[in-house]
A and B are shown apart, each in its own frame.
Chain A
Amino acid sequence: DSGVTQTPKHLITATGQRVTLRCSPRSGDLSVYWYQQSLDQGLQFLIQYYNGEERAKGNILERFSAQQFPDLHSELNLSSLELGDSALYFCASSVDGEKLFFGSGTQLSVL
């Protein structure tokens, strides 16, 4: 168990809908990262937050947004969902940025 908690584990929704994925980092970790994993693209970095502030952006679509709250948990919001958004979404946390600990992921299926 990495200590990173992600909910829900599975999410099934329809195109055009909006969903929220939640992540609780390991105790003491200030950084939260979001990754998307699909069969064709592999593991892609989306966005990083550090102590509530956005620190880095990767291949994140404009339809996607994230935030980190004062208690350090983070949410990834996905809107106007398309079939191609179906993927595994991982959250990871770290204390120093050099070693990431990943949650078990949220499997998103857009039908």
Chain B
Amino acid sequence: QKEVEQDPGPLSVPEGAIVSLNCTYSNSAFQYFMWYRQYSRKGPELLMYTYSSGNKEDGRFTAQVDKSSKYISLFIRDSQPSDSATYLCAKEYSGAGSYQLTFGKGTKLSVIP
């Protein structure tokens, strides 16, 4: 079983919709969770970063972590065509001075004007 599972989509929504992106993870031995956004032919860019259960909000984006159910979510409010990208969830393992990110395979989102 892959450590981070993510529905690959694709997901297509109309402009202005609320988008919900989800991941599940299988290994509890880590604390940090991230969402990265990747535009076509570009490198991933860090969108949200959290290390606790609960919600973290940044503008139109909200990251939610539920450690009891091993569930990570990203909500996008008032979605825009510029949000069209692939969204990657990631969990981080740190130990002995090293930090390793394990990524989900990504969900491709298209926001239709």
- The residues of B that contact A56 with a CB separation of less than 8 Å are 98-100
Q: Is A103 an interface residue (CB 8 A)?
A: yes
Number of interface residues of B (CB under 8 A): 23
CA distance A29 to B39 in the complex (A): 24
Contacts A2-B43, A2-B45; is A45 near B97 (CB within 8 Å)?
A: no
Instruction: Using CB atoms, name the residue of chain A closest to B90.
Output: A43
Q: Which residues of B contact A107 (CB under 8 A)?
A: 41
Given contacts A48-B99, A58-B100, contact A105 B43 (CB under 8 A): yes
Task: With CB as the reference atom, state the residue of chain B lying closest to A40.
Answer: B105
Cβ-closest chain B residue relative to A92: B43
Would you give the shortest CB distance from B65 to chain A, in whole angstroms? 15
In the complex, B94 has a CB within 8 A of chain A = yes
Picked from B41, B43, B105, the residue with its CB within 8 Å of the CB of A103 is: B43
In the complex, what distance in Å separates the CA atom of A43 from the CA atom of B103? 6
Is A64 positioned at the interface, with any CB of B under 8 Å from its CB? Answer: no
Cα separation A100 to B38 with both chains bound (whole Å): 13
- Having A45-B102, A50-B98, one finds 9 other A-B pairs with CB under 8 Å, namely A42-B103, A42-B104, A42-B105, A55-B97, A56-B99, A98-B92, A103-B43, A105-B42, A105-B43
